[in-house]
A and B are shown apart, each in its own frame.
Chain A
Amino acid sequence: MTNIWIICRKELKSYFASPIAYLVITCFALIWGYVFYMSTAEFVRYGFMAEMQGRSAPMNVNEMVIRPLLQFGATVALFLIPLITMRIFAEEKKTGTIELLLTSPVEDWEIILGKWFGALFLYLCVLAVSALNIALLFAFGKPDWKPILIGYLGLILQGGTLLAIGTFISNLTKNQIVAGVATFFACLLLWLLSWSTAFQATGFAQVIGYLSIVTHFDGFAKGVIDSKDVIFYLSMIFFSLFLTARSMESLRWRA
């Protein structure tokens, strides 16, 4: 347990000592801030119009602002996560520091979990920036906080899954760019899979659609925790980290 924490802390130090963390957080803050402004401005304009026309349409901040925002956040994560994970193992393999980790009295899974938690922590920092904006809504209105929390739980689970996939891909190469590009396309593919059900409704298309990472997020965005989605994310995380462990082991036998 301590070993996981030691490695996790070292990972965080590496992220925040290099420009990666600041770059990821800044980019996300800019994009998110812009979209946040657009959607709230639209919401306010709509409110004014409704008032001027003299009809009091029921307006819901959660439905009109927060839900689309969270869904947008889930999409942006697809692009940010390769930036976070590409260095995880590739860098250590390139500089040879992997030799230090693998010859220290630490289990492989402790290394993998430590690194994954480090990446997850950085991702939480990114989400914290988005939460700042949403907190503003509480200053001017009364959004329901429970669906927001559930939405964030969904973002964390989805992020954790993509981070685990990225961790695995980073373990396969010692070239950070290869790891980054491959992870990006893996994320993209997992996103595109959701389109399969849009064209045809056969059983096969549904199976493919089920594998898509974003379809499982829809429930969370609505404020619904479906055990099916939670299990999907958790098993994807477990499976990816398990593959990473296998890959580490094969590294020893091949290298």
Chain B
Amino acid sequence: MIKVQGLTKRYARTIAVDNISFEVEKGQIVGFLGPNGAGKTTTMRVLTCFLPPTSGTATVAGFDVLENPMEVKKRIGYLPETPPLYPEMEVSEYLTFVGRLKGISTADIDRRVGEVVERCAIGDVRDKLIGKLSKGYRQRVGLAQAIIHNPDVLVLDEPTAGLDPKQIIETRELIKHLAGDHTIILSTHILPEVEHSCQRVVIINKGKLVATDSVENLTNRLRGAEAVALEVASSNGPLDPAAVRQRLEQVSGVSRVLPREARDGRLAFEVESLQGRHIRADLARSVVEAGWNLNELRAVGLSLEDIFLQLTGAESVGQASRPAGGLQAPLSKEGQP
């Protein structure tokens, strides 16, 4: 559906997008992932024919963005980072305007506006001025605007930025619902978003393509060492943490053992293996042979965030001690919620 080859966009002094290539198949939701300033918005602007590429090609549904911009524009719905709304217009009035602009005939326009209003759940603000709407509603009106002409491709630039958690969940649900009929590209710098809504990820950093793959593959491919969460207890009296730790460290293939908080006499550890070693069976045997109870033993997958940081080189995952809560903590280091 979308084919990008060797796309480069150069501004006066900087290269915003540097020779990136990827493809998106029909009906897929693709997450466009990268830190701020990575070139996500620029790529999207090229795809929507807002900016011409410096070199390379981009085609949407077989039409080149430079040679056939009209055909491309007809097939794309675009929600920019700030929804393009006219505050002095009413919601239905605005949607009618955009719909007509996108080529919907007068005969169909009322029906289409009714459909998208229902789909985006903005029925109760239909006759309100856009300027008086809350941020969440504005975002939804923006989304309604993007799908009004039922485009093959939807390009959403940070659709959940600035929303509260409830609105984020609602927007994600909405996007998932849209997935059947549309091919969707959404950009974000929030990782859970990709894990939640997307089938494929395109990771870019500083204008360069870092990785493109399905979410699962990417997680698997980059999981070098195995990490295991382990909980040990004893039926007779408290355990000595140091002794347990020492025993775990002696299991072959273990690279290091990190103690986690202990509760009610149960000791928790996170054990990491050496590259390519499977240690779960040996760990279990070792604990049981020592006469302790094995309460819990589970693999801790590397989260997409770890992979992301690894790929973009923002922080080495192996050296930093990874908190149990995985997803949220390192993000806050980048200043994200």
Contact = CB atoms under 8 A, between A and B. Distances in A.
B181 interface: no
A13 interface: yes
A102 B65 CA distance: 13
User: Do most interface residues of chain A lie in helix, strand or loop, or is the interface mixed?
Assistant: helix
A41 interface: no
Interface stretch (A93-101, A118-126, A212-220, A231-239): A93-101
Interface residues of A, number: 26
B84 A105 contact: no
Interface string B67-82: 0001001101010111
Contacts of B290: none
A99 B80 contact: yes
A14 B80 CA distance: 22
A102 B50 contact: yes
B28 to A, nearest CB: 21
Given A97-B84, A99-B80, A3 B101 contact: yes
Contacts of A95: 82, 84-87
B326 interface: no
A13 B93 contact: yes
Interface in B1-39: 11-12
A3 B103 CA distance: 8
B200 interface: no
A105 B51 contact: no
Contacts of B102: 104-105
Contacts of B145: 100
Interface string A79-117: 000000000000000011111111111110000000000
B118 interface: no
Nearest to B80: A99
Nearest to B69: A105
Given A96-B84, A97-B85, A100-B84, A105 B50 contact: no
A17 B51 contact: no
A96 B80 contact: yes
A255 B84 contact: no
B89 interface: yes
B146 to A, nearest CB: 10
A14 B86 contact: yes
A10 interface: yes
* B84, B85, B93, B103 pick with most chain A CB within 10 angstroms: B84
In this complex, the member of A10, A14, A96, A107 whose beta carbon has the largest number of chain B beta carbons within 10 angstroms is A10
Given A17-B88, A105-B73, A99 B52 contact: no
Contact of A252 (B50, B70, B86, B87): B50
Contact of B52 (A13, A104, A252): A252
Contacts of B74: 105
B101 A6 contact: yes
A14 B130 CA distance: 13
Interface in A59-81: none
B49 A103 contact: yes
Contact of A13 (B45, B80, B89): B89
Contacts of B70: 105, 107
A96 B101 contact: no
B98 interface: yes
Contacts of A6: 97, 100-101
A168 B169 CA distance: 44
A168 to B, nearest CB: 21
A32 to B, nearest CB: 27
B188 interface: no
Contacts of B89: 10, 13-14, 17
A157 interface: no
A103 B50 contact: yes
B48 interface: yes
B97 A96 contact: no
B266 to A, nearest CB: 55
A253 interface: yes
A7 interface: yes
A95 B81 CA distance: 11
A18 interface: yes
Interface string B213-240: 0000000000000000000000000000
Interface of B: 11-12, 45, 48-52, 70, 73-74, 76, 78, 80-82, 84-89, 93, 97-98, 100-103, 145
27 contacts: A13-B89, A13-B93, A14-B86, A17-B89, A95-B82, A95-B85, A95-B86, A95-B87, A96-B82, A97-B86, A98-B84, A100-B84, A100-B98, A100-B101, A100-B145, A101-B101, A102-B50, A103-B73, A104-B73, A105-B101, A105-B102, A105-B103, A106-B101, A252-B51, A252-B52, A254-B11, A254-B12
Interface of A: 2-3, 6-7, 10, 13-14, 17-18, 95-107, 252-255
